[in-house]
Structure 1
Amino acid sequence: MIVGQLMGANAVAAIGSTASLVGFILGFAQGMTAGMGLLLANSFGAHNPQQVNRRFSLSAVIALFVAFILMLVGVLLAGEILVLLGTPTTILTAAQTYIQIIFAGIPISMAFNFLSNMLRSIGNSRTPLLFLGISSIANIIFNFIFILVFHWGIAGSALATVAAQFISVALCFWYIYRNVPLLYWHKPLNIKFKEINIQLASGIPMGLQFSIIAIGAILVQRSLNQLGTDAIAAFSVASKIDQVSMLPMSALGTALGTYVAQNAGGQKYQRVLAGIKQTFVLSVLMSIVITLMILLSSRQLTYLFISNPKEMLLSLTQTYFRLVTPWYLLLSGLFILRFTLQGLNYNFLPMLAGVIELLMRALAAIFLVSIWGFVGIALSAPLAWLGGSITLLYRFWKAIRRVQQSIALQERSQGLPDE
């Protein structure tokens, strides 16, 4: 938003052209730490503090190692990948500058994702949200300082993001040190391969799921780059609004996954079912409200990101909103399906759903864009959500049946009549 107001549509397009690549790298980091967080939540729900601390310490070592590998790969190959994606030459240099700084900050970004996911895993979701809010405010302030005062341009925007993330990491460390001895890091001794395998078996599938979905976005980005700077800028603006709009639904899904993992670990299956039902209703209602708000104010939303947009850019963003936002209802259900299964330790199928989402986005990028242009780009997201939901629906139903059977067994063992 700030970049568009201060630097114009080309700067928005430059940053937007990197979004899919950033999502591919950072998505793996975010997904991996979330997966390991669900494993820790299960131990917390089982009231096993020793296992919680050991899993936290092992996860920290793994996350640190992965972060530096991703940083090196991202910084070294960013320019070549942007060229392969067909990034327009008018924005290539700015895009490369931005993405290399973002990738250099991967250890910081992963540290925040890791610590916030660990806090959520032990039932504290409010503190990470507070620190994320502080980080967002800091990001806005840094953007103004780095762009208006220091005149650092695109590099300033990237540095503002990394600096704001560093503040959130520092706050997480401070909070854990003061209040959460359970998450103090201790050097893990006598590490067994089985322990590492358990951590990776929980973290990697979820990381791959995020990255696989992002590969589809990369294919879409390549097709988008062929449509010109206006299309890239319009898609970037619409995607930013998309991301903000999806946050409440995604946050509910993430919270549900942690809640399910905790209660499944403690064998509190009635609470699992109640949490799924309540989250589903809340998420659906939220998706309807968000859809109506965007459709009623789509033109004004574009002006928030670009001070003087061309009529073509306005038309493209409105086309995107009309085609995509009505599908938020389906997306809210997809988050429920995915995170419930992950909370119940079904890791493979959500990853398979990610592959289906990739195939659907690839279909849109290869075929629909050549036929309908920007409309094909917009339809790639709803098609991906539809494919992912269909893939997960049957296994979700089977998982719910198994939870219900566990409830029946508990009632029999306690001498209670079946419902």
Structure 2
Amino acid sequence: MTKDMTSGSIPKHLVTFAIPMILGNMFQLTYNAVDAIIVGHFVGTSSLAAVGAANPIMNIIIFFIVGICMGTSVLMSEYFGANDIGKLKREVSTSMIVGMIFTIFMSIACFFLAEPILVITQTPSEIIPEANIYLKVIFSGLIFTFLYNIYSSTLRSMGDSKTPIIFLMISSVLNIFLAILFVVVFKMGVKGAGIATVISQFVSCALCIVYVYIRMPILRFKRSEIVVDKTLLKDTINYSWVTALQQTCLYVGKLLIQGSVNRLGVNSIATFNAVTRIDDFVLTPEQSIAHATTTFVAQNRGAKKRERIRKGFYAGMIIEAIYWLIVAGPVYMGSGSLMKLFVPDSGAEVIGLGVIYLESMAIFYILPGMTNGLQGYFRGMGDLKITLASTFIQIVVRVMCSYLLAPNFGIAGIAFSCLIGWIAMLAYEIPAYFRHKKNLKLYLKRRN
């Protein structure tokens, strides 16, 4: 079901759009975390560390694909807000065809480069074989990742955040059962966890395709409509490339940070794998709120409704702050219990290191909420260079600080490197927002 955000209650639009995304992403994170929990408890700390070392590499590729889909969704939201359905369909067709070709080439390249990348990132030699197997399995299913994300981005651009999330929830539950089956019952180790994830991605992708064909006539294409529109291709590449670079920049930074953690030993690697999963649970809702802001702003940009853009941004930032107030206390007070989900009681050192990290991060989480809100606004306005530049600044500062602080402060140094990186990011974004706000009227005229 589509939703026009160019009229009606602004907070209601943002909340009702964000909540399904939050719930669905929580399910996705749950099945990602299930891999770590099952591997940690039933295979061992070494295998947990292998999955942890593989995750940043995997995320670089996956979120590059996600970035491509995010970029095209901004254009789709604009065309939908302007009620230009013909242009919307041509944009969907163009991004689908070009994206599939690109993803296939990327999947092949990553499959063969997995092990060399693990070596370059100074992954301990004893966990490279398992990490390599896990990555090869995940990379084999990248086409399903792309198809799910392009279909879900298209639906979200039209105001439907519920449907793709329902399919994601179904696949998440499936992944839990498959992970238990392959890892615990069939004793397939990290390879089994990877296979469970790929099968689940295929299911979410297939459900999206079937739903669009049956229930969304507006997105049902005739053979003559399946084209690459050369007039839209340039904007599609520009938007997709910048958002993909932004996502890649973020996860390349995380990969480099993983390198600083790898030097601290297997226990620290296992700790970092666990706490980053918890970070994801906290930060993903902030990102979902920002995505709601992006869709809202982009639709109203297409409709040229300046005042609703301003009010929508402010409402999004308030929701981000409220969310932080809700989540900070439970993370701080329950850090030990959260770590025990990933590591059995015998892993006392890993649990202790995780508590140190999480108690600091619980306080710091307000900052990424603010940066996400600002990024949601800039994406919706189509000013993606600001989002790329601010992410680049944050990552450079964060990586530098992690290598400076980790040798002396261990895992706590990684937490404080996040804090410094987010502060640097806000120092760039806030002045940029006020400049942008001042010129908003002229900006809209220029973009439209």
Task: Tell me if TM exceeds 0.5.
Answer: yes
- Does the 8 Å CA contact 1:288/1:328 hold for their aligned counterparts? no
**Structure 2 residue 54 is the aligned partner of structure 1 residue 18:** yes
Q: Identify the residue that residue 371 of structure 1 maps to in structure 2.
A: 408
Deviation of 1:64 after TM superposition, in Å, equals 0.4
- Does the 8 Å CA contact 1:58/1:188 hold for their aligned counterparts? no
Alignment of 1:142-161 (within 5 A): 142-161=178-197
Q: Identify the residue that residue 333 of structure 2 maps to in structure 1.
A: 296
Using the TM superposition, name which of 192-201 and 171-180 deviates more. 192-201
Alignment of 1:247-262 (within 5 A): 247-262=284-299
Deviation of 1:348 after TM superposition, in Å, equals 0.8
- Does the 8 Å CA contact 1:17/1:87 hold for their aligned counterparts? yes
Q: Percent identity?
A: 27
**Structure 2 residue 353 is the aligned partner of structure 1 residue 316:** yes
Q: Identify the residue that residue 417 of structure 1 maps to in structure 2.
A: none
AA aligned to 1:329 is I
Q: Identify the residue that residue 111 of structure 2 maps to in structure 1.
A: 75
AA aligned to 1:4 is G
* Distance in 2, Cα, partners of 1:189 & 1:241: 41
* Distance in 2, Cα, partners of 1:360 & 1:406: 30
- 1:181-237 C-alpha deviation (Å, 9 max, x unpaired): 222345557755442111011111000001011111111111111111100000110
AA aligned to 1:122 is M
Relative to the length of structure 1, the TM-score reads 0.93
Deviation of 1:379 after TM superposition, in Å, equals 2.2
Matched residue pairs, number? 408
**Structure 2 residue 364 is the aligned partner of structure 1 residue 327:** yes
Closer, same or farther in 2 for the Cα pair 1:63/1:406, shift >3 Å? closer
- 1:247-287 C-alpha deviation (Å, 9 max, x unpaired): 21111101110111011101122222222122211111111
Deviation of 1:387 after TM superposition, in Å, equals 2.0
Using the TM superposition, name which of 380-389 and 125-134 deviates more. 380-389
Alignment of 1:47-66 (within 5 A): 47-66=83-102
SS of residue paired to 1:267: coil
* Distance in 2, Cα, partners of 1:276 & 1:404: 15
**Structure 2 residue 307 is the aligned partner of structure 1 residue 270:** yes
Closer, same or farther in 2 for the Cα pair 1:310/1:192, shift >3 Å? closer
* Distance in 2, Cα, partners of 1:405 & 1:59: 29
Deviating beyond 6 angstroms after TM superposition, the runs of 4 or more aligned structure 1 residues are 404-407
Unaligned runs of 5+ in 2: 1-36
Q: Identify the residue that residue 72 of structure 2 maps to in structure 1.
A: 36
Deviation of 1:104 after TM superposition, in Å, equals 1.1
Q: Identify the residue that residue 4 of structure 2 maps to in structure 1.
A: none
* Distance in 1, Cα, partners of 2:322 & 2:353: 27
Q: Identify the residue that residue 278 of structure 2 maps to in structure 1.
A: 241
* Distance in 1, Cα, partners of 2:347 & 2:61: 32
- Does the 8 Å CA contact 2:274/2:339 hold for their aligned counterparts? yes
* Distance in 2, Cα, partners of 1:148 & 1:366: 37
- Does the 8 Å CA contact 1:2/1:140 hold for their aligned counterparts? no
Q: Identify the residue that residue 375 of structure 2 maps to in structure 1.
A: 338
| Match 1:112 to one of 122, 144, 148 | 148
Alignment of 1:73-152 (within 5 A): 73-152=109-188
What is the RMSD of the two structures over their aligned residues, measured on CA atoms?
1.8
Deviation of 1:367 after TM superposition, in Å, equals 1.8
- Does the 8 Å CA contact 2:94/2:227 hold for their aligned counterparts? no
- Does the 8 Å CA contact 1:216/1:357 hold for their aligned counterparts? no
AA aligned to 1:182 is I
* Distance in 2, Cα, partners of 1:181 & 1:233: 48
* Distance in 1, Cα, partners of 2:131 & 2:238: 35
Using the TM superposition, name which of 228-237 and 178-187 deviates more. 178-187
**Structure 2 residue 398 is the aligned partner of structure 1 residue 395:** no
Unaligned runs of 5+ in 1: 410-419
| Match 1:3 to one of 34, 39, 47 | 39
